[in-house]
Amino acid sequence: MSNRKPWTWQGCGLVLMWSLAACSPSAEIALEPGVVARIDSTSISAAEMRDFVIQMPQSLRLQGQDDPVRKRYLRSLLGKSLLLLEAKERGLDTAQVVQTKAMQYWRQHLVDTYRQIALVSNVQVSEEEIRAYFARSGLDRKRQMAGILVEEDSTAQRIYEQLEAGGNFAQLAAEYTIDERSAAQGGVLGFIDLEQARRLQIPDELFRSLPNGQLSPVLPMGTRYQIVRFLQDQPVPLEEKRQQIRNMLYERKRLEQERAEVASLIRKLDVQLVPEGLEFLLDKAALHTRVRLTHLTDEEVGQPLFTYKGGQISLGDYLNALWGDMRALSGWGVRDSAEVVDTARELVLTPVLLAEAAQRAGLEEMADGQQRWQEIRTEFMIKQLRQEEVIDQSEASLEEARDFYEDNEDLFREPAQYIVVEVLVETEVEAVGLLRAIAQGATLGALAQKHTIRQDMQEEDGLLHLGEYERLTLPRFFKAVKAADLDKITGPVHVEDGYSIFKVLNRQGGEISPFFQVEKKARALVRGEKREQLFEELIDDLLDKYKERIAVSDSALAAALPDTFLQRHAREAPTKGDGS
């Protein structure tokens, strides 16, 4: 749209204010009962207004409970209707790009609906199947594992020979293993289940059948080599794995049912491979290992690869689907005719034939089907308008990114990390008592063993690491640690879950990263700021453009969002000491 203000990042985080004055003259506008606003024939009801606020994420809610807050909420809700109005004015409802994207989404919706109605409803997993799989799969137990991990195959073979000759596993593990966790424990890593064994590259059959105490052969683990043995077994309750097994068996059955349905549809719809299309595709693949749409002319893109009753799958359809899969980067999908057929069945035939079956079953003619189609078209019309007016206009130059970086250095600091020793207790009285004990010579570590209520910290003598996760989950404690002096007893400090006394033993990070390392981040943040400002300006422009077609009832708005309601659903004020 024209006459946009030049971009500046300062203040972009604020929602631009709109008074609705143009829509709310001094004379009260009379709308139908329960209606707050209307744009042309589209009404916004009081119930919609309240639901909009209730469902809004806490971080996006507004503080306050007066008319400006009400009107800002209404402005946000009016936005979608305004964007749709403008999209229609521009003819985006008939634009090819919108029609193509909407149709792709619609076909997927039909496929998903057909799966639910015709396939998924027939899939059942019995208790007997769950128990049988649990027993035969190896998921019914954990095994205590000891291992020796080394860099070279020759070293592993030499250790294996020593073990076969009667060498002591624990001593050899302590001497050779490069895994520091287990070296001091004779190579013992602890109890592992089948899935953990897979991550350690231990074969399933070996996990299931290797007797306790017996050595495995030398096993590769990435670029390294390992020898393992199991020491004892521990049963796993079925309840721990029941849902996981049920989901896996359910998905397996669902896929079997879908394959059978697709095979049936191939016969019913007389799907035929077009030899000329296949030959042409393979010839192109011989010239271009990773053949793409750009290697074909417009006429070649439309050449059929498969035909069926009522339609065809073109080379363009196939390549579009193929390049939606990362495996195409290796040349997969075009290496020979059998691979083309298998790939087409997986990526193209299945969704196309299921969509065809859905259409033949009349799913798109159902009332809710037509409603969903209109919703999808509306969504993609609005997305296209936003693409043209916001996203395409929000590129960030190097100069803008550097200016933003220099004005917002704190956003580019390395994450701070701290090592602290801490005692956390429930009351301030207890904390003060611990301070007296420290004054008399007690150590924080010893006190943590007896008194700390922080989970799992008694065994660690109160020693813990604070990083990004703790900054988010323990904001008060993190902020207190950040402000504390190094090697000095601090507290009592009121933090999450109680009162803390702590000492910072080490701190790292917090430095500002050089621009060349964070240029991409700076550009992304500038783009985000630009998009926010451009979107708000777009809504402002549309409010002005369509003001004669908007009607708002101030009294109905006040009744829909009374002060008590706004107060109850206001954004929570930032917690003091939130670590920001």
Q: Please determine, for residue 236, whether its predicted confidence score (pLDDT) is greater than 80.
A: yes
Q: Does 414-508 match 141-235 at the fold level? A: yes
Cis peptide before 492 (omega within 30 of 0): yes
Q: Helix/strand/coil (H, E, C) string of 426-471?
A: CCHHHHHHHHHHHHCCCCHHHHHHHHCCCCCCCCCCCEEEECHHHH
Q: Please state the domain extents for the chain.
A: 1-90+520-580, 141-235, 414-508
Q: How far apart are CA 25 and CA 20, in angstroms?
A: 9
Q: How far apart are CA 148 and CA 146, in angstroms?
A: 7
Tell me, what amino acid is at 555?
Answer: S
The CA-to-CA distance between both ends of the chain, in Å, stands at 37
More confident call, 288 vs 17: 288
Hey, which CATH number is domain 141-235, 3.30.420.40, 3.40.50.300, 3.40.1800.10, 3.10.50.40? 3.10.50.40
- pLDDT tens digits, one per residue of 469-503: 898 899 999 999 999 999 999 999 999 989 999 99
- The alpha carbon dihedral of 487, 491, 497, 498 has a sign of positive
Element (H, E) at 354: helix 350-360
More confident call, 125 vs 29: 125
Residue 500: what are its φ and ψ, rounded to 5°? -115, 140
CATH 3.40.50.720 corresponds to the domain 414-508: no
Q: How far apart are CA 229 and CA 170, in angstroms?
A: 11
Q: Please determine, for residue 10, whether its predicted confidence score (pLDDT) is greater than 70.
A: no
pLDDT of amino acid 9 = 45
- pLDDT tens digits, one per residue of 63-77: 887 889 999 999 999
Residue 429: what are its φ and ψ, rounded to 5°? -60, -45
- pLDDT tens digits, one per residue of 419-478: 999 999 999 999 999 999 999 999 998 899 889 999 877 667 789 999 888 988 999 999
pLDDT interval class at 12 (50, 70, 90): very low
pTM of the model: 0.66
Structure-token match 């917002």, residue found? 408
- pLDDT tens digits, one per residue of 353-406: 999 999 888 888 886 888 899 999 999 999 999 999 999 999 999 999 999 999
Q: Please determine, for residue 209, whether its predicted confidence score (pLDDT) is greater than 90.
A: yes
Which residues fall within 8 angstroms of residue 59, CB to CB, at 6 or more apart?
A: 571
